[in-house]
Amino acid sequence: MLRLAGNEVRPAHRGELRVIIAAARPGPGQVRGYLTADLIRRYTERIGLAPTVIDFSPGNADELRATCDALNIHPPRHTLVLPLGRGQFDGLFPDGVRAPVFDVGVRGDGAPLPDGADGLAGYWLQATPMGEGSMSEGGRGGDGMALGEEPLSVRMEMLGLDGDPAATLSRWRRRVAEWARSPSGAMSRPHAEAIGAAIEDGLDTAAALRVLADLEADDAVPDGVKFETFAAADRMFGLDLARDVGR
């Protein structure tokens, strides 16, 4: 089960996991908040639960939504507006509204929570850089974010990749396309389990990416096995690693 800052997150609502995002202030922290919620959503699907992600309306909604789309961050299912009224939850959930309404709340920018939001989530998480390569407060921001020619290299940087994210992303896509031409095989269980363990332990995507880097360099693992493992892991990373297969 997912652990955040040492706390085990257990769904309060049968068959689903609910996430609320409070990240209204533009900047790197805001985008990290939405990326963190996206990772929780992807993890939730991975373990067979239905994810529900809802946010509070950000002031820079158009710019933020465009940035999130470019970074493969799924949009929230619904947006709450302030001032918050309980009636805004009517019809959102099949089993109604009961405390805690959300299992996890993600704070993306360090600003105070909106009035009435404090008790909405069973656990509030402050989104932080996921590795030494992540964006600093003086770097790119959610408002007018400089994504360059390959936006997903920015996502890779935010996930905490060591080294040059653009070069690594390009190489991994090329290698995955090459491995796809080899006889297929089951995923490498040790690598898949190590990736899963890193994600479950506080969404440690930097450690999970290091596992993929080790797998790439492991000559003892057949190419077809590498392909299956990379392709499966990318459902969590969202980097379109199999984009060039068949080209």
Amino acid at site 184: S
Contact 222, 178 (CB under 8 A): no
More confident residue, 132 or 163: 163
Residues forming beta bridges with residue 54, ordered by sequence position? 20, 78
More confident residue, 135 or 187: 187
Residue 146: is its pLDDT beyond 90? Answer: no
Average pLDDT over residues 95-115: 88
Q: Does this chain's domain 3-151 share its CATH topology with 161-237?
A: no
Which sequence spans correspond to the domains of the chain?
A: 3-151, 161-237
Distance CA 96, CA 147 (A): 40
pLDDT level of residue 41 (50, 70, 90 thresholds): very high
Paired tokens of 132: 């030494």
Contact 106, 127 (CB under 8 A): yes
Torsion of CA 13, 17, 21, 27, to 10 degrees: 170
Instruction: Report domain 161-237's class.
Output: mainly alpha
Q: Which fold has domain 3-151?
A: Rossmann fold (3.40.50)
Average pLDDT over residues 55-82: 94
The pTM score is 0.92
| 78-80 and 102-107 beta bridge pairing | unpaired
The string of pLDDT tens digits covering residues 212-240 is 999 999 999 999 999 999 999 999 999 99
